[in-house]
Each structure stands twice: as C-alpha cells, then as structure tokens.
A and B are shown apart, each in its own frame.
Chain A
Amino acid sequence: MRRDLIFTLAAMAALLAAGLYGYFGDEPFYLTLAAKAAIFGLAGAGLNIALGYGGLVSLGHAAFFGIGGYAAGILASHARNYEPLMTWPVELAGTTSAPVIWIVAMLAAGLFSLPMGLLSLRTGGVYFIMITLAFAQMLYYFAVSWPAYGGEDGLSFYVRNELGGLQTMNPWIWFLVCYAILAVVLVLIAILTRSRFGLALTMARENPLRLANLGIGPKRVLLTAFVISAILTGLAGALYADLNRFVSPAMLSWHMSGEIMVFVILGGVGRLGGPVAGACVFILLEQVLGGFTEYWQFLLGLALIIIVLMGSGGLAGLFDRSGAKKGAAHG
C-alpha cells in the first residue's frame, strides 16, 4: 500500500514537473502534451477500475471516451449555433459551461455502460473481451454514418468551454484544470479501493465463487465497477475533446480502446498511479520514437511484446523491484 502511494506521488510529480517546464520554459507545446498525458492518465485510471481492480478485460473503453468527447462537442456546437438540442417534449439548449458538460459526459458514458456491462457480463471470460469490443465498434460505425455531427469528418468547435472565469484557452490554465481533476479522481479511487466496495471488488476478481457464497452477487459488484470505470473514462473524453476542440469517430475506434489499455499495462495493472505513469511514458515514446520514424508504433508494438512476455508488471513493477533490491542491500 505504501509503495503504491509513493509510486503514485512520483508519477504525479513527474507530470507536474513536465507542466512546470512547459510553463517556465515558455513551451506551450509541452503544456499541451502534459495536459494530454493527464487526460490519458485519467482515461486509464477509469479503465483500471474495471481492468486492474475488477479483472474485467474491457476492449471497449473507447466507447466511453468517445461518448464523453461527443457530449462535449455536441453540447458546445449547439450552444454556439444557438440551436436547441431538442424541442420536444421539453426544449433543451446546448451549453458551453464545462462543469455541466462534464456531468452530462459522465452520465452519458455511465448510461451506455450499463446495458453494455449487463450483456457482456452474462457469460464473462473471453466473451467479455469480444462483446465490449463489439459494442464499442457499433458506436464507432454509428458515429461514422450519422451525418448530423460531422460523421466521418468529426466535429470542430473553436473555443474551449467555460469554467468559472478561467482562461481555458491558456495552455497552462488548461493543464492545471486537467491535472487537478486527475488528482481528485485518484484520491477518490484510493478511497474506493479501501472501502467496503473495494473489498468486494477484490474478491470478485480473485474468487467470485466465494463472493457468491457470502451472499454477495459478483456480477452486481463487477457491473458497478464497470459503470464507475466508464464514467471516469467518459470524463476524460470530455476533457480530451476540449483539449483538441475537436471530436471525431477516431476517439471511438477500437485502436483507442487498445491505447487506453496500453497506458494501464505500461504503468502497472491495478496500481493507483499506474495509468498516469503509463500515459506519460506513452506520450514520451510517441515524441521520441515518433521523431525517428513515422512508423513508431512498430517499435511500440515490439516493446509491448517484450514487456508483457517478461512479465514485468509495468513501471510500477520495476519500481517495486528496485525498492526491494535496495531494501535487501540495506538489510
């Protein structure tokens, strides 16, 4: 538990350092990258609840990421065009208020995850992977073929949404907003994993039969974790849309699901700070390897294969072992 905390603080400190470097070095590009890492970390932290703490291998989290993104894009574009979202049965207008957008994004992601989770959990195991993947793909094709919000081309909006009186278009401010949200969410997850529900979730992952024998239905516990997980990834999606001021079906693509999973794997599955560390490393690799070749994902693929085959437990695993070695040397 203590090592997990130290690792998390280290990852968060590194991310903050990147942001500070961007701010004081007057490099807005680095600030944007740091904000992107915070958002990807948040998306990964969401997935980690299902994947790491619940043992649910979801290959469909792009659905929630994209829903969050489209929630932001659709609400903002309606508000800017002064077109109501709907006129019947009640008239609803769009909005550019970020908090409202975040809440709508989380609600929408959570609502979609409920039937998706119910259906995917019916048989579990390897079916879960295929079914989450398939439902996310369904949404992807829907977004591609539905012309109202840009279809394949996506949807642009020109100004970031409003948060109090903050200058959200300022990269430093926007980074701090994303960073603060990530920090709050990590604290909430830390509490969640230590709560009653956290105990039940651990048992649902490690021994569902026993959990049922205690009179607690493992599927209800796992479904709840899946929905919470979707809500957080949805929030990340809304932030990502605002970061780019653009949403497109690419946010819903299964490649995105795979990438969110890669953040978690690189950092450490089921580790609080794992997704943050993983997202930072991913973006670092993208910048460094991407500088050498546009086919940098070829190298990323090779690296991933080696990392998983060696069974290293990601950065968090490396961190644990380096600590253990030091401990042994001292003791």
Chain B
Amino acid sequence: MAEPLLVTSGLSRGFGALKACDDVNLDIRAGEIHALIGPNGAGKSTFVKLVSGEIGPDTGSIHLLGKSVETLPMTARAGLGMARSFQVSALAPSMSGLEHVVLALLPHEGGVFHFLRPVARERELRDRAGEMLARVGMLDRAEIPVAGLSHGERRQLEIAIALALEPRVLLLDEPMAGMGPEGSARLAALLNELRGDMGILLIEHDMDTVFALADRISVMVGGRIVATGNADEIRSDETVKTAYLGETP
C-alpha cells in the first residue's frame, strides 16, 4: 500500500492545564475520506489548526507527502498541497466569491505579484473560478460581495476556495454546519466525487453523513483518539459507545 498523504505521530498541544490534543496518531490515505468525530471540545479543531500550521505543536510530528512539516509555516504547507476550510468562515467581506476563488488559483498561476493588469481581464482565470463555483452551486451568486452572502453560501464558498487550491490533502472543519439539507446533500455528493483525487479529513457532527461518506472514522475524546476503523467497527466499538455515544454497556 502507498505511503499515506498525511501522518501525524504523537501530536500534542496543551493550553495551560488543558491538553487539547494528546498524543494523536492519525493518517490520511490517498483517495479516502477520513472522518474525525467526537463531542464538542474534544480537540478536533485544535487538531486541524495544528495540521494546517495555524498553531504549533508542543510535541509530535506531522508528515505531509513524506516531508516533515511541523515547523513549516502555513503558507509552505499550503504550497505543498494542503487546503483547509474554516469552521467559522474566513473570508474577506468586501470581496466577491469569484474574487476569492480567483485569488486561490493564483499561487499556481504565476503568483500575486502582478500589479498592472486588471483581474477583470484575466478571462481564463475567471472562467476556471466560475467552474469551481458552479461545482458548489454558487455560480449565480459569484459577483456578490461576501458581506451580502448568507451563512450557508459562505460555507459553499469555503469549499470552492479549497477546491481551487487543487489540494492533495483537504481538511474540512464542519463544512456542513449551517448549510441546510439541500446544500449538505450537494456537498456530500461533491465529496464523494472528489474522493478519488485527494485525501480528505472531514470533521462533522451529522452522523448519518459521516457513516455514509467516510472510508474510515476516528473518534476523538478529551484530546485523544480512542478508536479508528470503518463505519461498522466504530458502531460496534465498546469504548466509543461509553465515551462518546453515551451508551453504557
């Protein structure tokens, strides 16, 4: 079997006395959706921040495509092929959705240090950005500044931006939160379609979606991974039942 795209070993990070992530070993393989579930405050978002480089780990290592990246800044990890959607949408209110996606395409298309050519004239870029927006069902809202988009639309835009980066590893932090049933269904279908091209880490609360989509599921409780396996294994896992699903054996 091929080397996983992303491997964390012994990854830990504390905030004061609280161990938000405690010795986390997790990997994401090419072509899989790996779901990370757990109760609120389990440390899932901290894990995403550690992996993406927003914060640094206390101990442990992160390998992306075989390269050790735990000391690299966020931009370098993004350059190696890691994309992330934010739990709380991280967008520029005055920019349109199309502009966001165009910006995301630029690192692969000659960079941002071009000063004298209006983006409005870069037809090819705009067309490609339009395609990304169409995939998430946002094409008709492409020109509206983000400040005028609904919460669900911003979530969709987050995905379009992540797609534009053509990532090898995609970290999705609760992408469906606040999206509505129609949007969630479309996103689920899209993730299913994307699965072949990249490895996806999916943090999600909706268990039906998780069990339907995920190839593997890891369960995080109190900063630790308590179980990893496919849907059936997780359903029947005793530790998970006690710790997370709230059932007493």
Contact = CB atoms under 8 A, between A and B. Distances in A.
In the complex, is A directly touching B at CB under 8 Å? yes
Contacts of B102: 199
A17 interface: no
Given A200-B103, A209-B90, A215 B117 contact: no
B92 A214 contact: no
Interface in B93-115: 93-95, 99-100, 102-104, 106-107, 111-115
Contact of A200 (B84, B94, B112): B112
A123 interface: no
Nearest to A206: B92
Interface in A185-200: 188, 191-192, 194-200
Interface of A: 188, 191-192, 194-200, 202-203, 205-207, 209-217, 221, 224
B73 interface: yes
- Among B73, B74, B93, B94, the one with the most A-chain Cβ atoms within 10 Å of its Cβ is B74
Contact of A197 (B84, B113, B122): B113
Interface residues of B, number: 36
Contact of B78 (A195, A199, A207, A214): A214
B39 interface: no
A224 B102 CA distance: 20
A196 B119 contact: yes
Contacts, number: 98
Contact of B106 (A194, A196, A202): A196
B165 interface: yes
Given A210-B91, A212-B78, A213-B90, A203 B103 contact: yes
Contacts of A214: 78, 103-104, 106-107, 161, 165
Contacts of B118: 191, 194-195
A213 B84 contact: yes
A192 B84 CA distance: 29
Nearest to B146: A206
Interface string B71-82: 001110011000
